[in-house]
Amino acid sequence: MPTTSELQRSYSFLVTFARRQAARTVELPGGFAVYDDAFAHSRADNQVFVDAAVDPEALPAVADEALRHLAHRMITILDDATGRACAEPLVRAGYTHSRYLVMLHTGPVPPDGPAEEVDLDALRAPLARRWRGFLPDADDEVVRHLVERREARRRGADVVRFIGARTPEGEVASWADLYLDPAEGLAQIEDLVTSETHLRRGHADAVLATALRRAADADCGTRFLIADAADWPREWYGRRGFTDIGRLHCFDRGW
């Protein structure tokens, strides 16, 4: 059965990854801010993390000060109880509240799938098309930042792999990140996405199976991912052996 320690290990991995990936960090009451000026339009790379006790009423002002040079505000709170306590003051301050699930792989490890490791060159075109679908009003610079920021993720963990499933013509149809810490026996699968033109053809299953098998082969017994609590993929992951073991909260505000 999943244990509290596995949830805490997953939280610790997320914190360590965020700190390692960042170009710079600043310590704050109850957490820290991460920055990467090379990808200023990427909210995930320029945000506040809360990983300790914090004053909920003071948090909006803390974030305003930490992110004052940016046109957005993003706060990730790892502890579920802290996130719930901070929700009312942050929503009052104009933030949108999203809830995410920490999902642990508790099912059998599948055989290695037909996906493979790919490089950023192979991902650039499908990533850009997918982001333009997600954000049709975004300009080219925003899309470029959201694509190129993936290279910075290589700093985040001991082993970072981009896993992709290709069409018969060689195009990458579905992809995900795989972050490994073999010394701690931890692996995270992140940002599993399929191109709109290649949906429902098994490409995501191929990517997920390959990522899980490679994590297991690296002796990573704790394999987890983050899923939107309000979106359908959480059920898709549940059918593939993932169990909800915890929550984290994200608050976002932009102009």
- pLDDT digits over 85-124, tens only? 999 999 999 999 999 999 999 999 999 889 999 999 999 9
Q: What is the DSSP letter of 43?
A: G
Tokens of 237: 């992951």
Name, in order, each residue with C-beta under 8 angstroms of 210's C-beta and a sequence gap of 6 or more.
112, 113, 114, 115, 116, 163, 165
Extended strands (E) in 7-71: 24-28, 31-35, 47-50
Q: What is the pLDDT along the chain (255 residues), one digit of tens a residue?
A: 456 699 999 999 999 999 999 999 999 999 999 999 999 999 999 999 999 999 999 999 999 999 999 999 999 999 999 999 999 999 999 999 999 999 999 999 999 889 999 999 999 999 999 999 999 999 999 999 999 999 999 999 999 999 999 999 999 999 999 999 999 999 999 999 999 888 888 999 999 999 999 999 999 999 999 999 999 999 999 999 999 999 999 999 985
Question: Per-residue b/e over 158-171, b at no fewer than 16 CB within 10 Å?
Answer: eebbbbbbbeeeee
Q: What is the DSSP letter of 107?
A: S
Contacts 24+ apart (CB under 8 A), 237-243: 237/103, 238/103, 240/107, 240/205, 240/208, 241/105, 241/106, 241/107, 241/108, 242/103, 242/104, 242/105, 242/106, 242/107, 243/2, 243/103, 243/104, 243/105, 243/106
Evaluate the CA torsion angle 242, 243, 246, 248 in order and state its sign: positive
- Residue 177: closest CA among 141, 151, 144: 151
Mean pLDDT of the chain: 95
Distance between CA atoms of residues 197 and 33, nearest Å: 37
